[in-house]
Amino acid sequence: MSAAQESRAYESQLPDGWQRFLAHVVEHAFAIERRQPEDFIRHFPPSAIMAGLEDEPQRRANILVICTGVRMKIAVKKSAKSCAQDLQIALDEEETDAETIVTLLDPDDRVLYLDAPKLWAYVTEGEFWSDAGSATAREHVAYMIGRALTDDLITHREIVEGIGTDTLAERLPREELGRLLAAALTESHSGAAFDEQKMLGIVPASTLVEFIPLPHIWDRVVGPLIAARHGLAEAPVEAAPAEAAPEVVVEPVAEAEPEPEARADGPAKGKGKGKGKSKPPPPEDDLDLAIDDVLGLDDDDTTAGKIPR
């Protein structure tokens, strides 16, 4: 049986969904050889393992007997600190190895007795999802999404909305979109709704990771909706909004006094009352001379209609 098959055969018995998810994800990382036992011991040396098993003398003894050869009656009576020292000596002297220790630590016990966020940090070390060309990275991310659905950590709708319908329409090949359209039409003919669960049944996570960039899936789904939501990682820090520029208040500029109008006989000179005012024109009556005066007529001539020669 291959490592991947062993991982699929394993079924966690832990009570909470996030615990089962984490136990399976760690085991899957070993199964596909994305993570190695040596990596695990680097994150969880004997001192950390035995500290986690401080209240579990029998579990400590089970590891110590195999790795160091000490008898069970003695091993169960040793303190956690003493067990850690013996195990570290056995490791340093190559009397045991990382793979043996990891194998002796049951997958469920890893989650029960070790720090969960540190386990998640171990699994995700190196931001493996950034390697777009890695088939192993794609397989592991797809497994995480599928396992999160199984353990009720996320819904089908959240996955679709997280990735975004625009991204799906842009990234999925025409063949996959055609399959979705055909399925939607078939469902509509029977009066059934075509929802996100049915959609992901046609294009599951194993298909999505082939066409949707892994960083996009991680940043929109795995990171915030699985890891951060369930306490395995800190919530991603959103970029702070740009500081608004201080408001510039423009004071109104006082209107300048209008230039004085030129007088009829030239620009105004000097200061004083009446500056800039034109001399008013004479009344019209003063300009119009009486026609009688111009023609030298008197009232009698006008009346008679005679014009003197």
Give the model confidence (pLDDT) of 144-156 as tens digits.
999 999 999 999 9
pTM metric for this prediction: 0.74
Q: Are residues 60 and 77 in the same domain?
A: yes
pLDDT > 60? residue 219? yes
Using left for φ > 0, alpha for ψ between -120 and 50, and beta otherwise, residue 164 falls in left
The mean pLDDT value for 257-270 works out to 46
pLDDT > 50? residue 189? yes
Q: What is the pLDDT of residue 267?
A: 40
Q: Are residues 33 and 111 in the same domain?
A: yes
Express as a percent the part of the chain with pLDDT over 90: 69
Asked which of 103, 124, 145 is the last residue of a domain, the reply is: 124
- Residue 271 falls inside a structural domain: no
- Residue 306 falls inside a structural domain: no
CB 141 within 8 A of CB 217: yes
Q: What are phi and psi of 265, to 5 degrees?
A: -100, 20
CB 10 within 8 A of CB 30: no
- Residue 79 falls inside a structural domain: yes
CB 122 within 8 A of CB 40: yes
* Structural domain range at position 24: 3-124
Q: Are residues 156 and 188 in the same domain?
A: yes
- Residue 34 falls inside a structural domain: yes
Asked which of 101, 124, 147 is the last residue of a domain, the reply is: 124
pLDDT > 80? residue 300? no
Q: Are residues 145 and 213 in the same domain?
A: yes
C-alpha to C-alpha distance for 267 and 269, rounded to whole angstroms? 6
Q: What is the pLDDT of residue 255?
A: 57
Alpha helices in the chain (DSSP H): 3-9, 17-31, 37-43, 46-52, 57-68, 72-75, 80-92, 98-104, 107-113, 116-124, 135-150, 156-163, 165-171, 174-189, 196-202, 205-211, 214-217, 284-287, 291-295, 299-304
C-alpha to C-alpha distance for 155 and 161, rounded to whole angstroms? 10
Based on the structure, what is the number of domains in the chain? 2
- Residue 100 falls inside a structural domain: yes
Q: What is the pLDDT of residue 66?
A: 97
- Residue 265 falls inside a structural domain: no
Asked which of 198, 228, 258 is the last residue of a domain, the reply is: 228
- Residue 234 falls inside a structural domain: no
- Rounded to an integer, what is the distance from CA 277 to the centroid of its chain? 72
C-alpha to C-alpha distance for 196 and 160, rounded to whole angstroms? 7
- Residue 106 falls inside a structural domain: yes
